[in-house]
Amino acid sequence: MATIDYEAESRHCQAEVARHFRWNFGVNVLDGAFYWFGINFAAPSTIVALYARHLTQNAMLIGLIATIAGSGFSLPQLFTANYIRRMPVKKDAPVKIGLFSERLPFFVLAASAFLLPIRAPQTALIVLFLALTWNHFGAGLVAVGWQEMIAKVIPVQYRGRLLGIANFVGTATGVLGAAAAAGVLYRYPFPTGFAICFLIAGVFAMLSWISLALTREPPLHSQSPETSFRDFARRLPSVLRHDRNFALFIAARIANAFGRMGIGFLTVYAVERWFLSDAQAGLYTAAMLIGQAIANLILGTLADRRGHKLVLEISVALGVLAMISAVVAPSPSWMYAAFAAIGAVTASDILSGISIAMEFSSAEDRPTYIGMASTIPGLFSAIAPLIGGAIASLAGYQTTFLVSAVCGLASLIILRLLVREPRLVDVQATVGTASSN
């Protein structure tokens, strides 16, 4: 077996990254733009939640949608980090595996919405949850590979702008898409309108995949020795013991998981309280996209200049304000502000919730940190909406929103007062990372 010259390969990789920077920046902007435009036709907190409401009145089941959406992406990442760490070409995970694990479920959901809801609503509900689980957990399986690819081919000072521009384009055009979704749901009776929306989401998810596949990523082999998953998992607690800053960040994200547990109930709450039509979900999605587009335009540059911690603090504060505004809203028009704030929360999470994990450690340990930053809070994101649904069933949706606001405030205090901006911390001095003995 040929010996790898790691230094020569590293120099070649750096040269290729610099040479293809503009190309990679462009195709990954298109990837994000297509994906975020399409996903608005199947937004879990609005259109999917309302589709589920046609199939069941059970608040716990509706809350399960937010559980799957919030945790499915996060939970698998730690279990794939050790495998991704050894891959010389990181994009192989989101391209070769992601086609089936992340994109295909949209078409299954669309087909089931065309065929099942009238004749077999319970079966339609089961397929909905299966497709959602398939899509979100499938995305989580390849997420570390995608994040590692971005970290590898896009320099740190451009990552915020990359995600900001991609998501701005996707959400800005997605405002028109959300208006179109509202028109589809208004024009076509249940379930046809929902099926058309899910199909459109699938088409744009495929255009996103094609753009992603065009990324030019040079191979770079890991210098760390191969580690079994058992040994890899055994070393994880030492990361939190020795890296206090990262541990506090994880604590803030856990608190914020409960701060988000009310989001999945906003549309159902508004529709039930003011007896609104299905088309209103599309309009609320449009408000959410406007907030997301504006936030992407502003926060990407802010993250590159001031760091991702500040952006996450803004995100948590906006989440708290969204929950409070839902409680005090005297009319359905006031809910637009809550959905706009949730859109900004989504933007900042995509920009900085993903990117900040890349900055806590050295390149060799980065997959481990990315996986832990997603999976550990994801465990709590899995149960938080279910708790929110239980609270809503016992005491009403407004109580769920208030509890969410309190948890979000706790997260904000930890982030603001205790967590240090990782760019100001010497990650090379961090002790006890996953690659240490």
Q: What mean pLDDT value characterizes the chain? A: 86
pLDDT recorded at residue 431: 41
Q: How do residues 341-364 score in pLDDT, each as one tens digit?
A: 998 998 888 778 877 887 887 767
Is residue 433 pLDDT above 50, yes or no? no
Give the span between the Cα atoms of 77 and 282, in whole angstroms. Answer: 31
Tell me how crowded residue 426 is: count the other CB atoms within 10 A of its CB.
7
At residue 207 the predicted structure's pLDDT band, cuts being 50, 70 and 90, is very high
Query: Does position 1 have pLDDT exceeding 60, yes or no?
Result: no
pLDDT at 428: 45
- Per mean pLDDT, which of 42-46, 116-120, 280-284, 373-377 is the most reliable? 116-120
**pLDDT band per the 50, 70, 90 thresholds, residue 303:** confident
Is the whole-model pTM more than 0.85? no
Percent of the chain, pLDDT > 90? Answer: 43
Region 369-384 average pLDDT: 86
pLDDT attached to residue 429:
45
Q: Helix 279-306 to helix 308-328 angle, to the nearest 10 degrees?
A: 150
Identify which has the larger pLDDT, 374 or 2: 374
Taking CA atoms, 151 is separated from 163, 354, 367, 416, in Å, by 12, 11, 10, 25
293 pLDDT band (50/70/90 cuts)?
confident
pLDDT recorded at residue 22: 94
Question: What are the tens digits of pLDDT across the range 13-39?
Answer: 889 999 999 999 999 999 988 887 888
pLDDT, position 231: 78
Which pLDDT value is given to residue 124?
95
- Phi, psi (5° rounding) for residue 18? -65, -40
Going along the chain from its start, the domains and CATH numbers come out as: 21-429 (1.20.1250.20)
Q: Residue 59: its pLDDT value, please? A: 77
Looking at residue 2, its pLDDT comes to 55
Of residues 76 and 2, the one with the higher pLDDT is 76
User: What is the rounded average pLDDT of the residues 210-237?
Assistant: 84
- pLDDT bracket for residue 426 (50, 70, 90): low
Instruction: For 260-284, give one letter per residue: b (16+ CB within 10 A) or e.
Output: bbbbbbbbbbbbeeeebebbbbbbb
Q: What's residue 73's pLDDT?
A: 81
How far apart, in whole angstroms, are the C-alpha atoms of residue 267 and residue 66? Answer: 12
Most confident of 103-112, 255-264, 355-364: 103-112
Specify burial of residue 225 (Cβ count, 10 A radius: 0-12, 13-18, 19+): exposed
What's the average model confidence in pLDDT over 361-380?
Answer: 82
Specify the pLDDT at position 354.
74
Give 103's pLDDT tier (boundaries 50, 70, 90): very high
Q: pLDDT tens across 56-75, in order?
A: 988 778 878 877 886 788 88
Compute the distance between CA of residue 149 and CA of residue 363 in angstroms, rounded to an integer.
12
